[in-house]
Structures are given as structure tokens and as C-alpha cells.
A and B are shown apart, each in its own frame.
Chain A
Amino acid sequence: MLRQVRLRALLGAVVLWLGLALASVACGAPASTQAPVSNATAPATIRLAVNEVPEELATFQSIVNAFEQANLNIKVKLENIPDDDEFTKKLAADIAAQTPPDVFLMNYRRIGPFALKGALQSVDKYLNTSQVIQPGDFYPMALDAYKLKGELQCVPLNLSQLGVYYNAKLFQAAGVPLPKNDWTWNDFLAAARALTQDTNGDGKPDQYGAGISTLTIRLMPFVWAHGGDIVDNPERPTSLTLDKGAALEAFQWFVALQTKEHVVPDKTAEATQSSQARFEAGTLAMFFQSRVLTPELRETVKDKFVWDIAPLPQDKNRATILHSDGFCITNGSKNKDAAWKLVEYIAGPQGQTALAKVGRNMPALQAVANSPAFLKSNPPANNQVYLDMAPYVRPVPLMTTWLEVESAVNKEIKRAFYGDASVEEAAQAAVETTREYFKQNLADLGSP
């Protein structure tokens, strides 16, 4: 008897807990019963996901505020995750849970899987009928980077590109002429040699001529400039081609900057203080980075020294690599019309002008790029460099597995660059380890 009563008490407790659990579930439920708002003129709240550092987040917030002023019935929730990988993870998880943000900003190198799995709303029909922006307003290269299977997946915010930030004070002190717009690999190397100096006579340089990250996206423009390519067919790549011909030669030249010329910090020096930190401290003369570094340099360098931007040195060709972010609308958005309104505002003249002024972007809109908002956004003084280089900007191949290719090749470049493997060995390993990713990309894309 007692045992039965105990059992009953236990059951009672279970029921109580379940009841509480159900109640809490029930309280959370009503949200899903609301009818989706599809009409942009009806009041709507949309979510915009970005990954920005705090200074630029403030600019985004002010653009969003201005947008809300102009569209009183649309509220925008700005969500920030300031890390590329975390951002991608969160976005994928949100899409899987069918609670995606309406609009997000993402680098074109990362959109492949999202576009191919149908997570994005193609924006052709919106852009073609927009009163605010037309396809012809953009640099064609910027738009092309977001086209997959013939459809425009996102609207580009910028046409930023890799360039050479240089410290004019160090050039003058060493009596080295400042970089010209048509300088060559040899000019660059001569400058780098002259600017690498051992000032305290301990046998190790205290000032370096150059600094460059050992990344695939840093090596690629050198391969292009030398007349090669990193993949066999950029439209539909089936293999890496870093181990042959012009690509291999460019790879060798790139690696020799460290192993033979010693004009960049070696492995230990780089781990002690990064090239970027050295540039900001004024002990490294030329640093390779995209426009994204500009707002930070304005903060950290201030008036310690004069710095400016030069194009990448040229070899057989002129070439640089595209660094671009675009605004994408998710397929799961319940307010696509309102989402587009936000996109055409923030990727339109108002948004691009505001972001050009803080220095983050070279705008993807030709009119804004040619306006004082960008050209007078100094330092760097020579913003014209970016406009001159625009015709020579090339994108990475759009592949679903591109980031994995990059990650594997990065490891091989690093190994060769710091002398832990020969260039040939690293190139061969890069081709081997990425084979599987090319195979999967072709499987993902299906028949042409």
C-alpha cells in the first residue's frame, strides 16, 4: 500500500514537472501563429546580421537609423558577431533552425555553399526593377563575384582589393624613391632590400622592408601577375595548378622573399611581433593588406608617420585580388520586400557613401567611388590607386568548398615560406590535399 502511495507521489511529481515544462513551452508558442507579413508597406521588423569591429558597427547602426527614419514602418534589428568563422557558424545554424536573419553581409568567398544549398534569394528581379540602384551603377567585377549559376546572389557593398600600405617616412630616411603606380616586382624587391636594416648591429634586422601574410589570397595576385593561375579553369575548376609553370614560378618568387632575400620577418620574428604590428609601430616599410586596414591605421598610426597606398607591383601583367562583401537576402526571410528596401538603401548611394567616409570600403558603386566621399577619405592620400586598379581586380573562383581549399593551401604556403619545406614539395602537397575539395565542388554543382 505504502509503496503504491509512494509511486503515486512520484507520479504526481513527474506530472508536476511535465506540467511546468509544457506550460513553459506553451508560453513560447504563440509567436509561430502570427501570420507572416509579406507586404513591405505593412509594419515589419527585419534582422540584419553583420560581422564588424565595434567602430564600423557604429557606422552601420547610424545607416540603419537613417534608413528607419526614411521608412517609418520598417524596424531593423542589427546583429553583430565580430568573427568570420563564428558568424558563418551562427548563420548556418540559424538557417537550419529556420530562423534566418532577413539580410546578412558576407564576403563573396564564403557565399558558395549558402547560394548552392538554396539558402539565398536571388536578387536579379529586385535589382532590375529598383528605383534606387541599377546593375550598371556597379563595377561589373563586383557584380560578377556574386553570380552563381547565372543568378546574382547578393548585392556588393565594396570593390576593395589588395594593395601595399607603405611608410613614407622610412622610404625618405633610406633615400628610396616612393612606389610609383607602374612599379614592377624588381622595383619592389629593390626597395624592400634597401629598407631591411640591422640598426643595432646584432646580425638580425630591426627594420623590415616588407610584410605579407602567408595566405592563398595573398599569393594569388602574384600568380596572376606572372601570367599563371592557381586553378585549371576558374569557371569550373577541377584541380589546383600551383605545382606547374607560371604559378609555380610565382610561388617560388613569393617564398624567396623570406627564404632567400630575408626582406620580410622570418618565422620567429613574425611570432614575436606580427608584420602588421611592426608596420603600425613604424619598423616595417611595406605591408600587404586590403582596404579593411585603413580605419585601424588611422587610429593606431595617427601622426607618428605618413603612410599611403600603392598598387601591387606588376610583372607580366597587372593584377590584384578582390576583397568584397555583399548583402544577401535569405530565402527563409518572411519580409523579402522590406529586406530589399534595406539592401538598396545600405548598398545604395547613402550607405556606401557613409561607409566610404569611415574608410572601410572602396565603394562598389562607380559614382560613389569617384566622389569626394571616397577620394577625400584620407589618409591614404592616393585613393586614386584603387580606381586605377579596378580594371585589374580578379575574384577567387566561386566554389562551394573554396574556403577548405584556401585553408589547406594556406598551410602549405606557410610551410614553404618559412623554409620548412621546398616550394615544389609544398605545391605538390597542396594539389594532393585539395583534390577531394574540387571533387566535392563538382558534385555539389552538378552537371554544367
Chain B
Amino acid sequence: MEIKERQAMLQFSLRFSRALFSYRAQLWFFLLPFLIGTAVLIVMPMTATFFLGLTDYDLFSPPEWNDFQNYQNWLGDRLFQRALYNSVWFMLIAVPLRVAGALVLALFLNRSGRAFGFARATVYLPTIVPEVAYALVWLLILNPGFGAVNLLLDALHLPTVAWTLVPFTARASIVVMWLFQLGEGFVLMLAALQLIPHELLEAAAIDGANRVQRFRHIILPFMVPALLLLTFRDIALSFQGVFVAGILTTETGPYYTTYFMPHYVVDEAFALFRYGYASATTSLIYLVTLLTVIGLFVLVGRRRDDGVE
């Protein structure tokens, strides 16, 4: 009786420990910190932001419900409309350029050799410069009098431009600054390229497919998941990534042309103390991002169904 019990206990604890150290349990165990982190640092603040967006809240006294008044305010708020227009403009121009840039650079630099290794490091470097330092360096590069760009143009006897002082070039400068920080996307593209089975490309080459055909029918289809991932990520980042550059390099000008959504949200929340309204606007940023991502997903999904596969 006693022995049987002991055996049962032993068996149970064996099973328990086996279960505890099973692949699945380990998976959950290691996943858990990230799940908790995501819940506490992302899901909870997002939910709180959404609900605060339905209230009047000034940080000092408790929030009060206000019947979607914040959402109605958007209609008459010209500063908000300017910021939204600027941010959407930026997203539509900068995201495709940056994703395409990462892809093209990865295609060219996905070769062995010391020079290519150096080139890859060079492409990645601007990405790891701290944001404030990066913005200040560009302020020097774009300086109308002694900036590197204008000195170069001057040496070539080309007309110079006061880059940060003209509405179009100021916005374009912010786009270019953002383009140079494509290092992470570039690494992702390199990894995705190296996952493409080499045999396929060789077989296609033997069958007489030229470079363009190989890219169109083999490389691109393989890259779609990575490209989509990168695009979604850049869409989300495009709404935030312009904050420091907009303040330091162009001072949100000339005349509001580089005044973006994050500037607006920070002004509303911490200068005017309209925290509820700022929360509603942040929720709108989430929504615009989400809708863009869903739209793109549907679009690409449909194309793929029609495709060769």
C-alpha cells in the first residue's frame, strides 16, 4: 500500500517535472515576461488612452465623461487638421521610399567581400545614432551658409537652397533624414533574401530567366511577408519618428509645415493640459495606423490570391 502510494507519487512528480520542462511549458514560461510586458506596457496604456479620450481630464482633477465632445472638437480644430495632414503626407511619401530603399540596398549589398561588408555597416550606422544627436548633425548638414550640402552645391556651381526655411524642402529634409535611418529594415531585408532557396534562383537562371524575371517571379513573392512586416512597422513609426527632427531641425516650420501629430499631442497634453483631448487624438493615431495596415493587408492578400500560386 505504502509502496504503491510512493510509486504513484514518484510517477506523478516525474510526469510533473517532465511536463514542467516540456517544450510547450518552456515556451510559455519564456514567453510570459513578454506577454506581461506587452499587457502592462502596451495593451493597458492603449486601453487607458482610449477611455481617457472619452473624458475631460486636465491631469489635476479626476477625469469626467464628456459625450464624445473630444471627437467633435477635431472638426473645428485647424491646428489638428494641419498636423494630421502633415503626418499623413509624411506617411504616404516616406514609408514607401524607406521600404523600397531598404529592399534595393539589400539586393545590391547581399554579396560577400570586404567592401560589401563595409558598405552594409555604413548603411546601418545612421540608425544607431541617438535621435537628438542625429537631428543636430542634420542641422549642420543643412545649414544654409556652411552646411555640407550647400558647400558641395556651391563647389559644383549649382544654386544653393536654404533647405530648412522653404516649406517643401523643409518637409523633404525630414523625409530624407528618416530615409537614412533604414538600418533595421535593411537587416530584415538581408535576412529575408538569404532565406530564399538558392536552387530556385539557379534553376530559373538555367531556364533562361533574366535578372528582372527572377526578381519579379521568385525573389519578390518570397519577400512579401518580410516586406509587409516592414511596411506595417514603418507606418506605425512614421507617426512618431518625426518628433525630435521636427523640433530641432526645422522647429516645426516654416509656418507649421513640419508640425506633426506627436507635436500636437504633446502641446495639447502638457502645455494646454487638455489630456483627455490629447488621448482621443492619440487613439485616432492608433486607428489611422490600424486602418492603413488592414487596408494594405486586404489589398496584398487579394493580389496574392489572384497570383501564380
Q: Which residue of B lies closest to A13 (CB)?
A: B29
Q: Is the CB of A9 within 8 A of B145?
A: no
Residue from the list B16, B29, B78, B144 in contact with A268, Cβ < 8 A? B144
Q: Is the CB of A403 within 8 A of B271?
A: yes
Interface string of A1-18 (1 = CB under 8 A from B): 110011011101110010
Residue from the list A2, A113, A118, A418 in contact with B273, Cβ < 8 A? A113
Residue from the list B19, B59, B143 in contact with A272, Cβ < 8 A? B143
What's the dominant secondary structure at chain A's contact region? Answer: helix
Chain A contacts with B in 11-39, Cβ cutoff 8 A:
12-14, 17, 21
Say whether B116 faces chain A, with CB atoms less than 8 Å apart: no
Q: Is the CB of B60 within 8 A of A117?
A: yes
Q: Is the CB of B60 within 8 A of A271?
A: no
- A159 CA to B33 CA, complexed, in Å: 54
In the complex, chain A residues whose CB is within 8 Å of the CB of B184: none
- A267 CA to B16 CA, complexed, in Å: 74
The range of chain A's interface size is: 35 or more
Say whether B22 faces chain A, with CB atoms less than 8 Å apart: yes
Say whether B108 faces chain A, with CB atoms less than 8 Å apart: no
In the complex, chain A residues whose CB is within 8 Å of the CB of B164: 271
Count of residues in B whose CB is under 8 Å from the partner chain: 36
User: What is the CB-to-nearest-CB distance from B152 to chain A, in angstroms, rounded to a whole number?
Assistant: 16
Say whether B28 faces chain A, with CB atoms less than 8 Å apart: yes
Q: Is the CB of B254 within 8 A of A407?
A: no
Q: Is the CB of A6 within 8 A of B256?
A: no
Q: Is the CB of A13 within 8 A of B28?
A: yes
In the complex, chain A residues whose CB is within 8 Å of the CB of B293: none
Interface string of A60-102 (1 = CB under 8 A from B): 0000000000000000000000000100110011011000000
Say whether A200 faces chain B, with CB atoms less than 8 Å apart: no
Say whether A129 faces chain B, with CB atoms less than 8 Å apart: no
In the complex, chain A residues whose CB is within 8 Å of the CB of B28: 10, 13
- A92 CA to B270 CA, complexed, in Å: 7
- A414 CA to B78 CA, complexed, in Å: 19
Say whether B162 faces chain A, with CB atoms less than 8 Å apart: yes
Q: Is the CB of A273 within 8 A of B25?
A: no
Say whether B119 faces chain A, with CB atoms less than 8 Å apart: no
In the complex, chain B residues whose CB is within 8 Å of the CB of A436: 77
- A95 CA to B19 CA, complexed, in Å: 49
In the complex, chain A residues whose CB is within 8 Å of the CB of B36: 17, 21
- A211 CA to B143 CA, complexed, in Å: 19
Known: A8-B16, A14-B32, A414-B255. A271 touches B165 (CB 8 A): yes
Q: Which residue of A lies closest to B150 (CB)?
A: A272
Known: A9-B16, A96-B59. A267 touches B165 (CB 8 A): yes
Say whether B112 faces chain A, with CB atoms less than 8 Å apart: no
In the complex, chain A residues whose CB is within 8 Å of the CB of B255: 411, 414-415, 420
Residue from the list B60, B266, B267, B272 in contact with A119, Cβ < 8 A? B60
Interface centre among B29, B36, B164, B266 (most CB of A within 10 A): B29
- A95 CA to B58 CA, complexed, in Å: 11
- A272 CA to B147 CA, complexed, in Å: 8
Q: Is the CB of A5 within 8 A of B270?
A: no
Q: Which residue of B lies closest to A403 (CB)?
A: B271
Q: Is the CB of B256 within 8 A of A13?
A: no
In the complex, chain B residues whose CB is within 8 Å of the CB of A6: 19, 22, 24-25
In the complex, chain B residues whose CB is within 8 Å of the CB of A85: 270-271
Q: Which residue of B lies closest to A96 (CB)?
A: B59
Q: Is the CB of A268 within 8 A of B60?
A: no
Say whether A404 faces chain B, with CB atoms less than 8 Å apart: yes
Q: Is the CB of A93 within 8 A of B59?
A: yes
In the complex, chain A residues whose CB is within 8 Å of the CB of B165: 267-268, 271, 418
Say whether A207 faces chain B, with CB atoms less than 8 Å apart: no
Q: Is the CB of A89 within 8 A of B253?
A: no
Say whether B136 faces chain A, with CB atoms less than 8 Å apart: no
Q: Is the CB of B20 within 8 A of A267?
A: no
- A63 CA to B60 CA, complexed, in Å: 31
In the complex, chain A residues whose CB is within 8 Å of the CB of B297: none
Q: Is the CB of B145 within 8 A of A272?
A: yes
Chain A contacts with B in 93-134, Cβ cutoff 8 A:
93, 95-96, 113, 117-119
- A414 CA to B165 CA, complexed, in Å: 11
Interface string of B125-164 (1 = CB under 8 A from A): 0000000000000000001111000000000000000101
- A301 CA to B303 CA, complexed, in Å: 67
Q: Is the CB of B271 within 8 A of A118?
A: no
- A418 CA to B144 CA, complexed, in Å: 15
Residue from the list B32, B144, B270, B272 in contact with A271, Cβ < 8 A? B144
- A14 CA to B267 CA, complexed, in Å: 41
Q: Is the CB of B19 within 8 A of A2?
A: yes
- A14 CA to B36 CA, complexed, in Å: 10
Interface centre among B24, B58, B77 (most CB of A within 10 A): B58
In the complex, chain B residues whose CB is within 8 Å of the CB of A418: 165
Q: Is the CB of A92 within 8 A of B59?
A: yes
Q: Is the CB of A404 within 8 A of B254?
A: no
Q: Which residue of A lies closest to B25 (CB)?
A: A9
Q: Is the CB of B60 within 8 A of A12?
A: no
In the complex, chain B residues whose CB is within 8 Å of the CB of A21: 36
User: What is the CB-to-nearest-CB distance from B10 to chain A, in angstroms, rounded to a whole number?
Assistant: 14
In the complex, chain A residues whose CB is within 8 Å of the CB of B78: 433
Which 9 residue pairs of A and B lie closest in terms of their CB atoms, listed nearest first?
A: A272-B145, A117-B60, A96-B59, A5-B19, A89-B270, A9-B20, A6-B19, A9-B19, A268-B162
Apart from the given pairs A95-B59, A118-B61, 14 other A-B contacts in the complex at a CB distance below 8 Å = A5-B16, A6-B19, A13-B32, A17-B36, A88-B270, A117-B59, A117-B60, A118-B60, A271-B143, A271-B145, A272-B143, A272-B146, A273-B145, A404-B271
11 contacts between A and B (CB under 8 A): A2-B19, A8-B16, A10-B25, A10-B28, A17-B33, A85-B270, A93-B59, A117-B61, A268-B145, A403-B271, A404-B272
Instruction: List the interface of chain A (C-beta within 8 A of B).
Output: 1-2, 5-6, 8-10, 12-14, 17, 21, 85, 88-89, 92-93, 95-96, 113, 117-119, 267-269, 271-273, 401, 403-404, 407, 411, 414-415, 418, 420, 433, 436, 440
Instruction: List the interface of chain B (C-beta within 8 A of A).
Output: 15-16, 19-20, 22, 24-25, 28-29, 32-33, 36, 58-61, 77-79, 143-146, 162, 164-165, 253-256, 266-267, 270-273
